[in-house]
A and B are shown apart, each in its own frame.
Chain A
Amino acid sequence: MARAKTFYTALTYAAGLLFLAIFIGPILWFLALAIRPAETAFAMPPQLTFEPTFDAFRHILVDPGTNAPQLVNSLIVAIGAVLLNLPFSVPAAYALSRFKMRGKKNIMLWYLGLLMAPPIAFLIPYFVLITRVGLQGSYLSMVLVLQTLTIPFSVWLMKSFIDEVPAELEEAARVDGARWYTIMWRITLPIVRPGIIVTSMFAFVFAWNNAAFPLVLSSRSTATLPIGTLGYFATSGVTWNYIAAAAVLAMIPPMIIFLVFDRYVVRGLTFGSVKG
């Protein structure tokens, strides 16, 4: 009996290690590509040990710094998309959480449906429109179009946080004669502030990782990091070390956010529909 238990424990740990090897191994291998000497990138058999070098990062960030402006662009677009989304999504989430409404379920499903729409289907019309109004290549065009993702996402996730604030608190204020906007602004929103921050963080990841919209709407000077990385395939002789270095830069912020907000990851990934 005890031996069987030890066996199963060992088996479980072995499975855990196997999962890490399969799901984390490739990421580490790509990380290694960014810091290994270029000539060892495709060595057969693969080389596990090498003299680490930060030449690729120096190349993409400092000299000539091909991807440095794109890093800044990615930040501008993602932060812009999150900030613009708040005045639209916060009141909506509050209303959907706090009030009785006819058709609430359909409204919620409508937001959700937008998250499942094929973004590529909208790209060509946006491309034509943005070109006609002269916004081609602007940050504003990307930030605006990203709202089709960030608003529905934030409404869902934030509603789930507001749902958790006990209604009694608002009831007490209402009895004291407070107006609805005072209640929302002074009581509910301050309590739910951590939820708004978590929502903004995940919305940031959503916007940061989006490649479809910048692919069409950005110009050379406003290209975001993934689009900039795509550019390496256009030039002759693919420079894998640079690609990996730029890709690692693009991977870091979402990874940090997911690890820091570990407790809310399940919620974030399911738009708050699963509490976790």
Chain B
Amino acid sequence: MNRILELVLRSGARLAEPGEFTKRAFLGGRIDLARAEAVMDLISSGNEFARKTSAAQLEGAVSARIRELREKILYEIAFIESALDDPENYSLDGYTDKLMSVCQDLEKEMRSLLSHAEEGRILKDGIRTAIVGRPNVGKSSLLNHLAGEERAIVTDIAGTTRDTLSETVRVGGVLLHLTDTAGIRKTNDKVEQIGVDRAQKALDSADLILFVIDSSRALSSEDEEIAARIMNKMEEGKKCILLMNKTDLISGVKEEDVKTLFTSKGADCPPLLFCSLQTGEGTKELGDFISEMFHTGEIAQKNEIFISNLRHKGAVQEALDSICLVEDSINNGMSEDFFSIDLMNAYRVLGTILGEAVEDDLVEEIFSKFCMGK
């Protein structure tokens, strides 16, 4: 495969730049702007939630909702305009009541879109972090340590079960959604098996895996099992940090052996840090390390996702404001020709989400997203 690529490149082809195909698809009119942005989010997001959101957007979920809203608005505009131009055939009698109920529906839908955007944003901004390891290596201590030291606990995520515990904490300025998992090991105990399955799920949905190893004890087959699972995830592009805990005790395992867990299977060994959660030694380094990974873009490109969301959110907010202004106009007994001013505005700004209305600032947006290189 690589050789073929090399060959075509040598014959004058060039590699597509990131997002180039998306840019072309958008500019070629095959996908709308919301979808194009979703692809860009997908490319740049190293984070599962963002991926899922982007994937839904890509399937056109957002586009379809926005399109629906626009169509409803357009119908009302068209009706008002027809009635103004052709009063003989289109009567506005009793129309304001009807428009009021349409506006209230629109308002409700847009408010719901916005509230979800808010939830999505919080989740999207954080890094889903799974703490894994065999039992009693200090996973819960790590969680408590991180949560306790940093008192800036943002939120508790509901759905905490007896086997996994989640906390949202800020480490080195970075938001982490920590999930403490049950120790992963082969088991015949049904209840424990559930815990193991859940731990696997946490692994599946994590962006960052903290693999905690008890440095005072020799490696076990359970460590091997966990390393294997992590390697699977690493192949999918997930990041892992190895945390050698209990450095305050006498070392029972060689660094080399830990590395071999991975290198023997042909994988690169993840970065390895030493700490003692008992004494607090090395925990600051852990925070710094995660923060650095984040800011160098290794974990997730926060800004890309954030802008796309902000733009969409801003547009929906403006459309909502306009619809509320229409309601005000109705309540103030204004005549129908005034309604279309704000209806038009709502229609237009929603159009900017789909790229169906091109505006100057939108152009800037397109530039920042798609105009890479040629």
Partners in one complex: no
